[in-house]
Chains A and B, each alone.
Chain A
Amino acid sequence: MKSTERNDATRAVVVTGLGATTPVGGDVATTWSALLAGTSGARALTEEWAEQLPVTFAARIAVEPLEVMPKVEARRLDRSGQFAMIAAREAWLDAGYAAKNTAPEDAPDALVVDPTRLGVAIASGIGGVTTLLDAWDTFHEKGPRRVGPLTVPMLMPNSPAANVGIELGARAGVHTPVSACASGAEAVAYGLEMIRSGRADVVVCGGTEAAIHPLPMAAFANMMAMSKRNDEPQRASRPYDKGRDGFVMGEGAGVLILESAEHAAARGARVYAEVAGAGLSSDGHHIAQPEPTGRDIARAMALALADGGLEPEEIVHVNAHGTSTPAGDVTELKAIRATLGDTAADKVTVTSTKSMTGHLLGGTGAVESVATVLALHHRLAPPTINVDDLDDEVDLDIVRGEPRTLPDGAIAALNNSFGFGGHNVVVAFRSFE
């Protein structure tokens, strides 16, 4: 099926705004230039609690929320909610809409979206875990009376989505898909469906996570999932390198404004890329181990291609899940080759931006969707850093060193995200002329 047929048959969806706050930058522009420059956001944790943990480093956010958000607002939001709000505001303004979706008195013509046609899909893998654990500390130290009345509205996983929805007055539906490290991508897929099905014209999509706290750090480390390269934090996230030994915990959020192509065209919006389609599958295999053949990862990619009316040859770039774990990285690459076939696979460029940002868990699929969209928009694929000794099993073109220029003409790219529990989400983006 040709892409034009697909677009006639459904409501085409485009990306008109981007926002991010990540370990390599406090906004999209700084994050993108840091990714192109191959900058790592990982560093040693300075908190006292880190000393007793098997992993003593992480990729903390580059710009603390209090630097860009009033204290009185920040204290009502979990850290993950702060990240989501910051990224959502950036994306919303980037799309050209009036702050808070309200035209100010001195600019009555400022652009707003009909609230009943505006939706939100912002995911989190874990929710307000630091709020929950801090409240438990308060309970023990000071008693139940001192547990804050905002604890529940801050810790619930839908809190970031709900707060963004309230800020913008969104009334078409506010949603929070939860699928561990696929959550952020699943939110984008959900937003796509909200627009295609006619429920909304504009959806604020994304994912957020803030789980750099001793308890989740200890728990992930005890799963043997994290890198223990404590003496070299910036070299620890090294997907596709022979010496990789696990992921690096990151934190942050990414947000994309999805809009029906019709709605975007009517207002003359700047379009970054088209959301061509999405593919979702599940492994049905194990709660934490990836299914070793990658059959369902491949199926999710094939479904995304079919959903977007894309031929394998159109896919020039994959922002891989590539977490820097020994088993997962190679399984994914095999699935890419199996799905695209040798002709297309020999030409595709693959990047794991987690080599720089660390793994943002529920935020990762959203931040990497932002990176994938920008790769198409600028026709430039960021590198994977720390690949000093390429794994012998890697048979795809991993971008290393300098960013890689992507071809002219109509091109497309995939963003892969997979989560504990066997959730596979692939979002396909197409360049927009």
Chain B
Amino acid sequence: MASQEQVLEGLADIVNEIAGVPQDEVELDKSFIDDLDVDSLSMVEVVVAAEEKFEVKIPDDDVKGLKTVRDAVDYIVKAAA
């Protein structure tokens, strides 16, 4: 089971790979679209990469609810539990 810290770290790596944002800027209160240069297509990439990394399923309908990094981290922690 992954902790919030581990998931944030893993997510930061994914966002860095996909959007080029430095890992330490991927903070819990940042918005993917407004703060991290992750557009809607890149968000799909982030989600699919996170599914693979954390061995979770994130249905398309739930992706809309993931506005901030915290939303995603909480979702993944819960789904992986």
Chain A residues within 8 Å of B, Cβ to Cβ: 70-73, 75, 145-146, 148-150, 153
State A150–B41 Cα separation when bound (angstroms).
Answer: 7
B19 cross-chain contacts in A, Cβ below 8 A: 72
Other than the given A146-B48, A149-B44, 15 more pairs (CB < 8 A) read A70-B20, A71-B20, A72-B17, A72-B20, A73-B20, A145-B51, A146-B52, A148-B45, A148-B48, A149-B42, A149-B45, A150-B41, A150-B42, A150-B45, A153-B41
Question: Within the complex, which residue of A71, A146, A149 is in contact with B41, where a contact is CB–CB below 8 Å?
Answer: A149
What is the distance, in angstroms, from A423's C-beta to the closest C-beta of chain B?
Answer: 34
User: Given the complex of chains A and B, what is the CA–CA distance between A71 and B20 in angstroms?
Assistant: 8
User: Across chains A and B, which 8 residue pairs bring their CB atoms closest together, nearest first?
Assistant: A72-B20, A149-B44, A149-B41, A150-B41, A149-B45, A146-B48, A148-B45, A72-B19
Contacting residues of chain B (1-45) with chain A, CB-CB under 8 angstroms = 17-20, 41-42, 44-45
Chief secondary structure at chain A's binding surface: helix
Q: In the docked arrangement, what's the CA distance between A148 and B46, Å? A: 10
Is there an interface contact between B48 and A72, defined as CB atoms closer than 8 Å? no
Question: B residues within 8 A CB of A71?
Answer: 20
Nearest-Cβ distance from residue A214 to partner chain B, whole angstroms: 26
Q: How far is A70 from B48 in the complex, measured between Cα atoms in Å?
A: 22
Min distance, Cβ B43 to any Cβ of chain A, angstroms: 8
Separation in Å of the B32 CB from the closest CB of chain A?
A: 14
Shortest CB distance B55–A (Å): 13
What are the residues of chain B within 8 A of A145 when measuring CB–CB? 48, 51
Q: A153 to nearest B CB, angstroms?
A: 7
Residues of A within 8 A of B51 (CB): 145
Query: Which residues of chain B have C-beta atoms less than 8 A from A148's C-beta?
Result: 45, 48
Q: Across the two chains, which residue of chain B brings its CB closest to A73?
A: B20
Please name all residues of chain A whose beta carbon is closer than 8 Å to the beta carbon of B20 when the two chains form the complex.
70-73
> What chain A residues lie within 8 Å of B42 (beta carbons)?
149-150
How close is B40's CB to chain A, nearest CB, in angstroms?
8
Q: Give CA–CA (A146, B20) in the complex, Å.
A: 20
Please name the residue on chain A nearest to B43 by beta carbon.
A149
Q: Provide the residues of chain B in CB contact with A153, threshold 8 Å.
A: 41
What's the nearest-Cβ distance from chain B to residue A246, in Å?
Answer: 40
- The docked-state distance in angstroms from the alpha carbon of A70 to that of B16 is 12
Q: In the complex, what's the smallest C-beta–C-beta distance from A152 to chain B, in angstroms?
A: 9
Q: Which residues of A have CB within 8 Å of B48? A: 145-146, 148
Residue of A nearest to B49 (CB): A146
A348 to B81, CA, bound (A): 77
What are 6 residue pairs bridging A and B, where the CB atoms are less than 8 Å apart in the complex?
A71-B20, A72-B19, A72-B20, A145-B51, A150-B42, A153-B41
Most buried by B among A70, A71, A149: A149
In the complex, what's the smallest C-beta–C-beta distance from B63 to chain A, in angstroms?
Answer: 11
CA A150 – CA B44 in complex, angstroms? Answer: 9
Output the nearest chain A residue to B51 by Cβ-Cβ distance.
Answer: A145
B78–chain A nearest beta-carbon distance, Å: 20
